[in-house]
Amino acid sequence: MIALIALQSSAKMGAKTTGDLPRMSSITVRKLDERLKKRLRVRAAKHGRSMEDEVRAILRGATGDGDQDDLGIAVHAPEVRPAGAGPASPADTPPVATTIRSARILLIIGGGIAAYKSLDLVRRLQDRGARLRCILTRAAHHFVTPLAVGALCGERAYTDLFDPRSELDVSHIRLARDTDLIVVAPATADLIARMAGGRADDLAAAVLLATDKPILIAPAMNPHMWAAKATQRNLARLVADGVRLVGPNAGEMAERGEAGTGRMAEPLEIAAAVEAIMRRPGPLTGKRVLVTSGPTAEPIDPVRVIANRSSGKQGHAIAAAAAAAGADVVLVSGPVNLPDPPCLAVVRVETAQQMLAAVEKTLPVDVAVFAAAVADWRPRHASQSKIKKHGRAPTLELVENPDILSTIAHRKSGRPRLVIGFAAETDHVVANAQAKLAKKGCDWILANDVSPETGIMGGDANTIHVVTADGVESWPPQSKNDVARALIERIAAAFQETKR
Ligand code: CTP
């Protein structure tokens, strides 16, 4: 209704989005019928905003694809605390969206007084499990130092497009692509103008131009600069290009005696907007999933281990597919040569005993998938110093490792609702898998033939037989990523089934 009127009129004027907000909101509020006006008043009071500011917030939200609010209007912007309300209490902290965990966020800090708040933003995002990289524009150096930002991020801050160290180390194209979201905070009028113009005249602008990832900007500037037609025109273009906005808020400016709209959104609000963007509901939203992956390495001495040829590709693909389906995923991985999949928590272990401890610590979960190739035995005694050659080969006494899958599947309390194992076989694949299903007490076994000629161990493809109490389902040969997706679909279907 409100949003509809405003958006239609702005479309007529050739600006689809926030470009004409200050003008439109004053017209719209006056023209509202009494019933809507009353609801708007209540909503504005709830958020501590004026009715005009409330309309602006609704219109900003209407450009995104957020939730429906109580006026039936799509709202994306997080709740805005009243200006000057002081720091938010911990109780204000929004619930942590599962998918912000381990998300890679590139924060671009523009040159405005609000840059000091970006240091707090780094912390807020890290508290939610995000991994941060930062770029500082040249102007930002006047407000925060690359040293302070780098120290907070745990990685040096990037500043220069033509820095040979950056280009050899992490090129601007990689900065633009190896991320899940780019946040520009503060987004100054100048940076917004350069973004809208498609400029690439410094590292920040070049990265923003080169990226194919979502962009969230938190504008911050003097109220007159914010209201300027040029700024609003640039913003309208950016929003039409799919860039999302959080803030600015109304309130006191840094300059004495200046007040109005232009304050950067508070770090908590920006963090909430990031969570809203990263939260991708899927068939496993609300489910907690544990995946084990990779080999284990059992020490013989400080330099030697008993290990196996597992690459971890299948387990990692399953964890990534579960996270992409909206699940809250913990991946417990032995030593692998793979990057961490995005949007999930990774616990790294070496030995079977460590893996069991990490798995038990992760419970309760709804689903547990045991894809790790756990070493069945470990040396009874690992030597504290390197075993030297003395002419005779040493004799290793081995002891059996705990069976992690069987331990969890046989738990009396806290057993995951769905326990899924793998069977790595070289002979009688299905028959051996059926025996393992019964012995280990799991619900499904994914059996595969790991004979060297199949190339499955370490390769990118897999051929799976799903063995359950109901029978055997044989899947065609496919990539490990496709196997992962098919398994996640089957898991989601099983939960749907039990709901009915
Ligand atoms: N597994 C486990 N802990 C172990 C051994 C295996 O959790 N100590 C799990 C694996 O992650 C897999 C399943 O059990 O999901 C079957 O593993 P597999 O290596 O095929 O069989 P094993 O139990 O080791 O039996 P065998 O070596 O005799 O085939």
pLDDT band at 15 (very low <50, low <70, confident <90, very high): very low
| pLDDT for the residue 59 | 66
**pLDDT of 11 over the 50 cut:** no
Confidence band, pLDDT 50/70/90 cuts, at residue 40: confident
User: 370 CB less than 6 Å from ligand 1?
Assistant: yes
Summarize pLDDT for 279-297 with one digit per residue, the tens. Answer: 778 899 999 999 999 999 9
Distance from Cα 483 to the centre of ligand 1, integer Å: 19
Q: What is the pLDDT of residue 323?
A: 87
Residue 174: pLDDT band with limits 50, 70, 90: confident
Kind and range of the H or E run holding 104: strand 104-109
pLDDT recorded at residue 27: 40
Return the DSSP state at 254: S
Does the C-beta of 352 come closer than 6 Å to ligand 1? yes
State the average pLDDT over residues 321-345. 88
pLDDT at 492: 96
pLDDT band with cut points at 50, 70 and 90 for residue 220:
very high
Average of per-residue pLDDT across 355-383: 97
> Does residue 1 have a pLDDT over 80?
no
Structure confidence by residue, pLDDT tens digits, 413-424: 999 999 999 999
Q: Would you state the CATH architecture of domain 288-377+397-499?
A: 3-Layer(aba) Sandwich (3.40)
Task: Pick from 400, 422, 442, 451 the residue to mutate for probing ligand 1's pocket: most ligand atoms within 8 Å of its CB.
Answer: 422
What integer pLDDT is reported at residue 86 of this predicted model? 29
Does 288-377+397-499 match 87-278 at the fold level? Answer: yes
> Is residue 222 annotated as a catalytic residue, yes or no?
no
Whether 10 lines ligand 1, by a CB cut-off of 6 Å, is no
Question: What confidence score (pLDDT) does residue 474 get?
Answer: 97
Per domain, the residue ranges of the chain are 1-77, 87-278, 288-377+397-499
CATH of 87-278, one of 1.10.1740.10, 3.40.50.1950, 3.40.50.300, 3.50.50.60: 3.40.50.1950
